[in-house]
């Protein structure tokens, strides 16, 4: 009779152990893995927010440039600086100097490319 009582106790103990292991696995699946996904998503959200802030700043800068492009004073200043704009009533002075005649390099000049740009006798 003691054998019969021991077998159900072993079975009950084994069943209890399986239930505890199953519960631990369920808790692991229910909390640990979603927590990892949550942390990864939080990192991605932080990176996306930083990118969004940078793009908003850049967009504001571009909007200012577009607004400035509609200002005739800015357009003329840019055209004069970049495109050498000259108005009909302006006096244009052009200075043309031969660099080879105005620049004399020392004989031991270390950069041969400059000598080549100035001419062979530089």
pLDDT digits (tens, 9 = 90+) for 53-63: 999 999 999 99
SS (H, E, C) 69-96: HCCHHHHHHHHHHHHCCCCCCCCCCCCC
Q: Is residue 70 over pLDDT 50?
A: yes
Query: pLDDT, tens digit, for every residue of 5-58?
Result: 667 788 888 889 999 999 998 888 888 778 888 899 999 999 999 999 999 999
Which has the higher per-residue pLDDT, 58 or 104? 58
Q: Break the chain into its structural domains and give their ranges.
A: 2-88, 92-122
Mean pLDDT of the residues in the chain:
85
pTM higher than 0.75, yes or no? no
Cα 112 to Cα 4, 102, 105: the distances in Å are: 104, 17, 10
Q: Cα(78)–Cα(84) distance, rounded to whole angstroms?
A: 9
């Amino acid at each position: 009779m003691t054998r019969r009582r021991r077998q159900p106790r072993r079975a009950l103990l084994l069943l209890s152990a399986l239930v505890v292991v199953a519960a631990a696995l369920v808790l692991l699946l229910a909390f640990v893995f979603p927590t990892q996904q949550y942390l990864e998503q939080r990192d991605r959200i932080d990176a996306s927010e930083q990118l969004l802030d940078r793009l908003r700043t850049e967009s504001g800068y571009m909007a200012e440039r577009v607004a400035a492009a509609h200002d005739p004073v800015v357009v003329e200043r840019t055209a004069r600086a970049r495109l050498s704009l000259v108005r009909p009533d302006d006096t244009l002075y052009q200075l043309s100097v031969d660099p080879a005649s105005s620049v004399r390099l020392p004989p031991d000049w270390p950069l041969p490319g400059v000598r080549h740009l100035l001419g062979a006798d530089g």
